Structure 1
Amino acid sequence: MECRWNHIDGEANNTLFYRYTSNPMMECRKYIQENGYNVGCYFSKDKIVEFENFHIYINGSSDAAVLINTFQLQNQVKLYPPTNMTLNMTENNELLLSWETPAKLLKCRMYEIRHRNNKNKDWQVQVITAQTKFVLSSVDPKKFYTFQVRSKINQYCANTKLWSEWSSAIQWGKDPIQSGKIHENYYLFAFLLALGLLIIVLSLLKFKRIYRSSHCQWKFLKGSNEKQ
């Protein structure tokens, strides 16, 4: 866990003290620093206690420290985004989106799925709880679909509004932009190939005319010499 704050140039270096309701006050053991100033504190896993008030104090000694805030740490959890997403088309013309998430806190997670297609740029949003799959019905094979997923702790395990970052996008269908580029590249390649062949043919014709002209001139000169 990280607890961060802003440091203003010219101000004294801040120190952080903390305590749980059932424990005495302690100073941060591992500060996060930038340019020689404390801008945060890192708490290892063994220092984190959930479902108990966590009090944060800033500045000076433990006697002079000022209470900044009180938290329930389970409400401050920001999850990592889902990973290993896959898309599969079912026999019922549906797209099945699935992803992976750590087994820990699986029942405490909820997910927000957003999707759109190249014909409708507005995101369509769905929220589900304790599942790692989503089904989109009535898929149009002529459209290009994009999906993303994010997650957070659900209301049964904590009271938080902290969503994870969005996952990497996963897509299905033929990308019309890429298809257009492929066609453009194909036409360009065909044009350059035809132009190259035309240049070769013209070069051969020119060479043939030069050859015939020089050959006739040689025969004419040869006949003249024989008469002399």
Structure 2
Amino acid sequence: MTRWLASIHVLTIDHSKTRFVEKSNPPVFEQPNRQNDVECLIVNQEQVHCVWNKNGAPGVNYTFSSWFENNKESNCTNYLIEDNITIGCKRDCKREDKFSDFYTILRHGNETKSKKIHALKKKVKLNPPTNVTVKIGSDSNLWFYWNQSTPRCVDNQVRFRINNKPWDSTHVPSERLSYCINLPSSNSRYEFQVKSKITESCGDSDIWSDWSDPVAWGFNNSTNTNIKEPISVWTPVLYVVGAITLILLIIMLLRHERLRIILIPVVPKPLLSSPEIELPVGQKTSPLQVEGHPPTSVWPLGLVSVLQRPDERRFQSQLQRAGLPCTRVRLCLPL
């Protein structure tokens, strides 16, 4: 730290913190070039991630060094690279380091491009919860569970939706790793996700973790972590083949009357009335009986067709063709 003090000769006290500033100039670390501005956050209370490409990709490779208060400066050993250009750095940290100021320096060759002090207490981003599961409990309620790498001092937020409707979100108290829906409907689909952040009592981070992987339950009362179920490539093919088959069947029925009669037989209407035909005087009538024929005789086919479509003149002419001597016959249908 001695080389920093060589160009600094004004000492101010601000809320019990010692702060060095240049004479008649703003603090050294507080006004970096915006194009080379460095932004940092603590990931899962295990690593510090810093990037300097928020305002555009840098055109050159920078070297980066950093340290926490009361520690020594160290050069970056794990750069983030994009298109062969360094855009960030990752370094390890301890859980309690978030309460200390974090110093960063960005250089290009011998030229210093950025100097900055970071307060990271409210910039802690946890990893998303893992091992998310959902199942029906012994109490017939639907239970959603998850695991958190740092269960203490963690607030959780659960969101769920039913049948792909808009999400409903609810807060889950610290150190609780489950959420319950009372008496779910087996005919509905329930989908869950959860995210976490540090509680107020342990630093009160402003950054939530990403949402966990989704998990769903419903319809067939089973858990399904793969929400996007792909449709089989054969499904549309079967739909097309079925539609073509139906169209061909309709065309065949319309063009082939014989096939239509076989598949859909026509039921004849019952006779509501029949013509009266007189038999010779004194001759008793009986079903399907005429003069010169025994009672058991069967009427000719032409006569039967006339019975279905009664017409007196045609009926008499068919009697003559059949060789029946009687011209006046009364037809008696069987009861």
TM norm structure 1:
0.65
- 2:144 maps to 97
Give the total of aligned pairs: 183
Q: Is the 8 A contact 1:17 1:62 kept in 2?
A: no
Alignment of 1:40-119 (within 5 A): 40-45=88-93, 49-60=97-108, 64=112, 66-72=114-120, 74-102=121-149, 105-118=150-163
3-state DSSP class of the match of 2:167? strand
Higher helix share: 1
3-state DSSP class of the match of 1:49? helix
How far apart in 2 are the matches of 1:67 and 1:133? 44
How far apart in 2 are the matches of 1:66 and 1:160? 25
Q: 1:113 offset after TM fit, Å?
A: 0.5
Identify the match of residue 126 of structure 1 among 170, 184, 187: 170
Q: Is the 8 A contact 2:193 2:212 kept in 1?
A: yes
- 1:22 maps to 70
Deviations along 1:159-196, one digit per CA (max 9) or x if unpaired, are 31222221121111117xx9xx9xxx7xx69x97xx8x
Q: Gapped runs of 5+ residues in structure 1?
A: 196-228
Identify the match of residue 169 of structure 1 among 203, 208, 214: 214
- 2:39 maps to none
- 2:196 maps to 151
- Amino acid of the residue matched to residue 73 of structure 2? M
Larger radius of gyration: 2
Percent sequence identity is 25
The 1:59/1:100 distance shift into structure 2, 3 A limit, reads same
Q: CA RMSD in A?
A: 3.6
Q: Is the 8 A contact 2:61 2:85 kept in 1?
A: yes
Decide which moves more: 75-84 or 145-154.
75-84
Q: Is the 8 A contact 2:57 2:87 kept in 1?
A: no
TM norm structure 2:
0.46
How far apart in 2 are the matches of 1:19 and 1:13? 20
Q: Which has the higher contact order (CA 8 A, sep 6+)?
A: 1
